[in-house]
Structure formats: C-alpha cells, structure tokens
A and B are shown apart, each in its own frame.
Chain A
Amino acid sequence: METLRTLPGDDVRQIMWRYADRFDIQMAVQSARSIARSVVARLVADGARNTHEWTARKAELLKAFDESGLTAIYMDPAEGGFIEGPKNLALALVAMELAWVDGGAATSALASCLGLAPIHEKGTAEQRAHYLPLCTPPQPGEERTCRRAAFALTEPLPYVGVDTGILGGKMRVERWDEGAEPLLKIEKRGRFITNMDFADIVTAAVESDDPRIKGSCMVILEKDDPGTFDRGAPTLKMVHQLSSTRDPVMSLTVPASRIIGGYDVVDGVIVPRFGHGEIIASVFHRTRIPVGLMTSAKLLSAIEPVIRYHRQRFRGGAVGEPGSRRHELGLQMNEDALQRLVDVWATGEAGCSLGLAAARLADRFDPVEREKDRLFAEQGIKGRKQLAALKDSQERALEYVRLKHADGQGDPARLAELEADTLVRFVYMDALAGVLNPATKLWNTGVGATVMREAVSLVGGYGITEDCPGFLCHKWMDSQLEATYEGPEAVQRRHLSLTMTNPVFLEALRQWSAGLRRSGAEGATALAGALDMWLWTLDFLQKGADSEGRKLYHGKRQGVSFPLADALGWLLAARFLFEDVVELAAQAPGSPVLAEAAPGLAAFYADLACVQAARAAGEAARICAELVYGYGCADVAGGACDDAFASLRQGVDKALSGARLAKDRAAEALTGVMIPEALDYPL
C-alpha cells in the first residue's frame, strides 16, 4: 500500500497552508529558514541562551533579520517592505520557521512588528509615514541606522495590589500654551518588555491622571525625549533567552501629537481618538496567531530528530548487524515509540492547520474591517450605533453562512449579493476570528506544551540534555512562555467564553459538522458527532441550572465556560486539519513534484487527521459529559435531555471505529519514511 515516502517539504506545505501562489511569502519563508538554521541555531548550540543579558552575539540576530528582509516584513512596499497587502499569514509562517529552531529568536523578530503594530493599525497618516520607514533597514546609499520598536502594555508588579486591568502608566498635561501643541508628561513602568535592550521607540499604554485628558491611549516614546528613559533590569526568565526582555522605567515629556491615532480637543479637554483598549484589541486580534503557531512548529520540528534517534539508537553496539531489524529500525521496532510520535505529529499538524486558517482569515478580514470602518465613518455611525448596525446584519450573515456551505445547492445570486455586502462579510469574519484567534493561542500553546513534553520523553534522558538534536528540551520550556505571553490561557478562555456563543459562529460550526459528515472521511463522523455534542452541551448549559438552581453558563462561572472553551480548541484544530488534508488530496496529484507520491501522502495525512479527530472527539466528549452530568442538573436525571446527550455521546464513541487502525498505519509509515542523513542545523 502506498504511504509516506519522505518528510513533507515545501511543496506539501504550500498546498496545505495555501501559499503555493504567493512567491513573496515563499521567499519570506526561505529567508527565515536560512537564518533559523544558521545564525539562530549556532547561537543556541554555542550556549548563547545561558544568560539573561542581551549580548553582542545575540545582537547578531538583529543584523541577520535586517539583512534578510525580516525586519521590514511588516511594512508595506512604500514603507520599505516587500509584501503588498495584509501580512498575517507571512508573519505567521516566518514565526514558525524561526521557532522551528528557537522560540526566543521568533519572539525577537515578532517583537519589532508588535512595537510598531499600534502605529500601523491605528496611527495617523503622519505617524505611519514617519515611524514605519524609520524602522526599516537602510537601503543602499542611505546613511541612517535602523530604529527598533518595543511594545509596552504592562504587566503590573506583583504583590503591590494591582490587577491586570490597571495600567502601569499615567499621563498629565505638563504645559499647554495658547494655540500650541500640549506637552504631556508620561510616567510609564513596564515589565517583561521585549526588545528593551535596544528599542529606540516604545509604544506605551497609559491612562489619564489629569482632568484635561480623557480616558486612556497609547503614546509613542523615544529614547531621546527629555526625561528619564531607563531600560531597567533584565527579566530573569528561564526561557526565550534569545529575545531581550527588561523592566523599563520611563518618565518623559512628549508632544500630544505622539498620541497614537491623534486626538481632538473637546471643551478644553484632550480626547484621544482611540483608547488603549481599542488599539490593543486591534493589535492582539492578529499577533496572538503567530505565537500559537510557534509551539505547533516545534512539535513538527521534533519529528525528524526523534525518528533519527529511534532508528539509530542501537547502531554501533555489539548486537544488531547492518541489515538487521534492530540495526535498521532501532526503537522503531516498538509500537509505543511510533504511536506516540504519531500523536506529536498529529497535534503539530492540527495546530498549524488551525493557526494558519486563522492567519489567512486575518488577511482576508483586514480589508473588510477597514472598509467597514470607512462605511461607518462615511455614514457618521459611531460607538453603540455601530453595534446596532452590525446586529442588523446578523440575520443576513446567518443566511450567508448557510448558503456558503450549501455545496452548490443554494441560490448563487443571493450568495453573491450577500458576499458583496461588506457588513455581512464583516459580521461573518469577525465571528470566526473572534474564536479562531484565541483558540489558536490557547490550544496550540497549552496542549502543545504538554505534547512537547511527550516529544522530549521520546528521546529518553538525552531529551533533557543540551546535546539533544533539535533542542527539544529548550523548545518544551519555551512553549510554556508561549502559553503565557500576549495573554495567558485564562485570558484566552475568557475571550472564547464570550465569542464562542456568537450565533454566526455557531451556525458555521453546524455547517462544518454537516460538511464533515458529507465528506465520509475516516474519523470525520466522530468529529462531526463531537461538534454536534459540543453544540448541544453549550445550548444545555446556557439554558440550564445546577441542582441548587444557579445558572450554569455565566461569566463568573469559569468552571463551566472555560472547560467548554478547551473542548472547542480540540475540535477546531482537528476540523481544520481535515480541511487541509482535503486540499492536499485534491491538489497533490496535479503537482509535478508530488504527483507520484500523492496517493501515499494523501493516505498518510488522512490517517493523521483520523488520529487527531479521534483524540479530539474523546477529549470533547469527556469534558461535555462532565459538564452535563457533573452539576446534578435535574434535566439530565433520566429525562429527555439525558437520552439526547447519551445518544450523542454514544454516536461519537461508535464513530471511533477504525481510528486505532489509522494510528497503526500512520505509525507503520514512520518506519519507512525517508529522512535526511543529518539535521540541517547544528547541535
């Protein structure tokens, strides 16, 4: 039977992750890869991670990023970049390539983009035109240095009685002469601020401490502004040591024109056009995706070194001549070693499928969001009126979702009409992004960290040494930070508990379930059943109360909503892996490079998707059962609800038929797959 011949290369990835026709992105991937597997890998191999300080050797990273175009990747061509249009997918893939070797290096690359993101997303035209080109490396003939940016939201000092809702920054009017630009005094203390060793520009979140300024905002601070720009002490982090992190203290005077997005003066009060929350929402909406993908990339990066270690484990010993099973397969003679690696692989693939679907959606969403903003501005619709206008579009968005998934059975004219409606598309994409983005950050990093531990354990004691090929132990520890920064898991669960009840998203989920059932793929029915069960459970929890009559699905009741968010992460990742596998099976036969190997590739990936679907369905079923039965709700004490849930769960269980055979096949494929002679980065 045809099976996997070689480890999947760029041809496979470009199809699965939908950038086969984007050579700008392909070049960015190649650039990032060449740096990851040379400069970055050498730094890690030479022990550059063994200090909290930002050293001259670590600074080689910045030079490499500058020379290879990664520093400017966030910019539009007019600002010195090379990718037109939205760049979420490009940034995600670059982060993956760097994290394939070291997460800190990936963070270092992303942090400059993050520092500029508030200006990019909400800055005035003048701010964009001034700061973005400053932060691109000089072109031939230009005599200037490339400026670096840092993003200073806050992480308040612990044990001093503040929670994360309190900003660690204040602003006051220092001087406001008649007819002149007001001068603001900014006091900002940051914690865990990336890039602080070398940042020239800091975009900082601050709130008003003066009645002449309203609310909060983000401001641009420069290192040469009058006052104190103290980079602070290095953060003593145990992970991601290839990124610079310090706790800065800044007390600076800046003109009010540094308020990101500008301001208006209303009745003698400075009113920033964007509160810090709006800017952060806009920024984090996108930047959390690459972070989630970094952990998934590590899981995939573990496959090759683990296979090589397993195969060569006994070579050179007294027993097992070349040609013998022991010599050729080594630890791969054991089913457990193979099957656990299949789990690692499937989790990595599912995380990538979910995260890159989110990144592609973000690319499509960007222009729609801007068009929506333009329409509202044109019509003078602001604040709550915007929400009302969007609410009015919800019914049409629901119709759009149904028609979009009607498999050619719907009314194409109506679909085209809805497709042309900016607000409908906005409501639809916003509903999806509201779930996919936090789900990527939550599931990929949280579950990824746990599965990365499995990868480390597959290399035995070697796995926790510096000598372990692939730096697996570093990657395992790094994934814990990825689960934490840009909003820890609890923040993502909270986010999901609010967005996953959006009717438009729930309709999409129903349609995805139906699509999976129609596909007839192995494991798809189990996953579809689990999606249906999740939907039923949500509905039940939203309507139901516990044995003491307390509402079950409630903002304060995280014991209900958070596990349900966890279950959703499993299901979404498995669902998007199916989608990518379908794409691969459809496109690979037409590729001159893959055609010969297409049947084996498709079969292997179908098995991997089935393995992940079975695992996801099992996790979701366990969580849903605990929530449905665990609160002693009267409705499930032998009543109709009990029957309905039991029937759904039994359906999921029965649909697992054959899933372990798929795992057997995928495991067997690992014994025959060709791998390179050596890892392409140093140890």
Chain B
Amino acid sequence: MSYHIVVCGSIVPDPLQTLEPVAGPGGPALKNEMMLPAVLDPWAAHALYEAANLAKAAPGSRVWLVSVGPKAKLQQVMMHVAQKVPFELVVMDGPAGGFVEAADTAAALAQAVEGIAGLEKDRLLLFGGWSSASRGTGATMQILGELLGVTEQFQGVDELRPADDGSFEVKERIEGGGYLRSRCAGAPAVLGWATGNLPEPPNNPQVGMQNMRLIMPALQKARPAAVGAAGVAYKAVELPGARRQTRIVKDAPVDDIAREIVEWIKG
C-alpha cells in the first residue's frame, strides 16, 4: 500500500527568541516578528519526519508539505528543512503568527490541498501537528479534515503502524499519560502528530538540492492566503508569567532531589 501524505505545517519564531506581544495595526503581533529567525513548527516537523519515514517504507508514496506562511520567511526555513527528508512544497502566502484564526488557516490549507495535482484522496493521509508552537488551539487539523470530508481523525499521535491490507494501527496520547490504540481500516485519515518516535534527521544537502528544484518554483507560485483574525477582538495578549523559585543546596543526593520533585508535582 502506498500513500499520498500531505503534511500541513508552517513556521514559528525560533523558540529561543524573545517573544514580546505588541499591538499591531492588524491586531496583536510579536515585536519584530518578521526579523526574528523562524523554524518549522516543531509539531509539524515531527509529522514531516514521520511522513517521510512512512513513505520510505511504502514505495510509491509521495509526501507534500503544505504551508500557509510568509513566503520569504518560509524560503529561509526551507534551507534547513529541505535537507532533512524528500518532499514537495505547496505554499499559500500569508501570515503564520499565533494570532491567526485556526478556521482561516484550515480553509486556506483545504484550498491548497484540493489544488494538488495528482493527489488521490483514497490514499490520502493528512498529517500535521496536533498543536502548534505559536498558538496551540489544536483545532486546525480537525477543521481541515472536516472541510475535506476526512472524518477518520486521530490526535496526539505518537505511532502509526501500517498493515499489509491497507489498514493501520494508531497510538494516540490520552489523558493521564496513557495511550489509546486504534485500528483504522485505511486512508483517508487525519493524523495530528505529537512527537512521534523519530529523531530529527541529519541535514543532507543532496536531499536538499533535489527538494529545492521543486521548492523554489513552489515559492514563486505561492498564492495569497486570506487568513487572519477578521472579526476577532483580542482583549489582552500576554506571555505566561515566569516563576522562579530557586534554592541552592550543596551536594544533595540525587534520590532526595527526585523525591522532592515528586512531592512538589503531587502538590
């Protein structure tokens, strides 16, 4: 069984950067957001690596990365991401910050997915992050699935095991640190990935050069995406407060430290 895997994901500011919310002309924004270095959303990145791994194991499969984001920033990020695994890029040019409505993004993604030439829906696996490092509504992939009529949906996925008959088993994260194992009869399906099980692949410029032959034209052909937060009023935007409780204890045994942490967690 081969798959047509569409990974949905875009960029977020590098998590090490100072993220300072400010009021922009179009609503809330991050200070100097365009200038800040960006990375592929880590949740989407896990989905991409899983997709490539699955495609490698299922000959004849294809992987697309569909992104709604500012194409100039996306291009920079692709110089890194394109070296990781083989994929084709589809771009919708628009904002990708944390203040864009999930429904807008899902609609733009749906439009982009519908436009992919040669995509076979009966082999379609829609991959993405179950959440996003920029906002984390956890809603985009669900809405996207609904818009595309893909109703088999799994969220917080850490593992997908395909069987020979086209069915596959999915391991989803559930409350309390547990897992739910499900069997799905086959594609199409939506899988919102958690971290998966794969390490970040090393950069491979040979793969990068192959990908870039398709990525650069895709960036040039990017259509504008009508996404934003129209009709939404943000009352306040702030970073989570940092809490620091430091106690310096010299030569504390590891067991004592662990015990204290457990007690603290238990409250």
Contacts and interface: CB of A to CB of B under 8 A. Distances in A.
Interface of A: 5-6, 9-11, 23-24, 26-31, 34, 64, 67-69, 73, 82, 139, 591-594, 596-597, 674-680
B37 A31 contact: no
Contact of B18 (A11, A593, A594, A676): A676
A23 B79 contact: yes
Contact of A82 (B71, B80, B82, B206): B206
B72 A9 contact: no
A680 B37 CA distance: 12
Contacts of B31: 674
B12 to A, nearest CB: 14
B34 interface: yes
Nearest to A39: B202
A591 B35 CA distance: 11
Contact of B205 (A9, A69, A677, A678): A69
A593 B20 CA distance: 18
13 contacts: A6-B32, A9-B37, A27-B79, A30-B79, A31-B203, A68-B83, A68-B204, A73-B205, A593-B35, A593-B73, A596-B35, A674-B17, A675-B18
B76 interface: yes
A675 B35 CA distance: 11
Contacts of A27: 79-80, 82-83, 203, 205, 208-209, 212
Contacts of B79: 10, 23, 26-27, 29-30
A27 B77 CA distance: 10
Interface string B7-20: 00000001011101
Given A592-B70, A596-B34, 9 more contacts: A6-B35, A24-B209, A27-B82, A27-B208, A30-B83, A31-B203, A67-B204, A591-B72, A593-B35
Interface string B182-215: 0000000000000000000011111011001000
A678 B16 contact: yes
Contacts of B209: 24, 27, 82
B229 interface: no
Given A5-B32, A27-B79, A593-B73, A10 B205 contact: no
B68 to A, nearest CB: 16
Given A68-B203, A593-B72, A676-B16, A30 B35 contact: no
B216 interface: yes
Contacts of B133: none
Nearest to B201: A67
B80 A30 contact: yes
A526 B170 CA distance: 70
Contacts of B72: 11, 591-593
Most buried by A among B72, B206, B216: B206
Nearest to A673: B32
A598 B34 CA distance: 12
Most buried by A among B36, B202, B204, B212: B202
A30 B203 contact: yes
B97 to A, nearest CB: 14
Most buried by B among A11, A27, A28: A27
B137 to A, nearest CB: 24
Contacts of B208: 27, 69, 82
Contacts of B70: 592-593
Nearest to A35: B203
Contact of B16 (A26, A64, A68, A677): A677
Contacts of A597: 32, 34-35
A67 B202 contact: yes
Tier of interface size on chain B: 20 to 34
B173 to A, nearest CB: 27
Interface in B13-42: 14, 16-18, 20, 31-32, 34-37
A67 B37 CA distance: 24
Contacts of B80: 27, 30, 34
A541 B138 CA distance: 75
B18 A677 contact: yes
B205 A68 contact: yes
A597 to B, nearest CB: 5
Contacts of B202: 64, 67-68
A678 B15 CA distance: 10
A32 B242 CA distance: 33
Contacts of B71: 592
Q: Which 4 pairs between the two chains have the least Cβ-Cβ distance? A: A69-B205, A67-B202, A592-B72, A31-B203
Contacts of A5: 32, 35
B76 A674 contact: no
Most buried by B among A24, A34, A82: A82
B48 to A, nearest CB: 16
B35 A9 contact: yes
Contacts of A596: 34-35
Nearest to B71: A592
B35 A594 contact: yes
Contacts of B32: 5-6, 597, 674
Interface in B47-67: none
A73 B76 CA distance: 20
A9 B73 CA distance: 11
A31 B212 CA distance: 15
Contact of A676 (B17, B76, B205): B17
Contact of B76 (A10, A31, A678): A10
A26 B209 CA distance: 11
Nearest to B17: A676
Contacts of B17: 674, 676-677
B205 A31 contact: yes
Most buried by B among A5, A34, A674: A674
Contacts of A591: 72
Given A9-B37, A594-B35, A674 B18 contact: yes
Contact of A11 (B76, B83, B204, B212): B76
A522 B205 CA distance: 42
Nearest to B73: A593
A442 B203 CA distance: 34
A68 B34 CA distance: 28
Contacts of A68: 83, 202-205
Contacts of B212: 23-24, 27
A155 B31 CA distance: 54
Contacts of A69: 83, 203-206, 208
Nearest to A678: B16
B107 to A, nearest CB: 23
Contacts of A11: 35, 72, 76
Interface in B192-247: 202-206, 208-209, 212, 216
A592 B70 CA distance: 9
A310 to B, nearest CB: 16
B14 A676 contact: yes
A26 B76 CA distance: 8
A428 B99 CA distance: 55
A543 B49 CA distance: 69
B116 to A, nearest CB: 23
Contacts of A26: 76, 79
Nearest to A8: B35
A79 to B, nearest CB: 12
Most buried by B among A69, A596, A597: A69
A583 B208 CA distance: 28
A29 B205 CA distance: 10
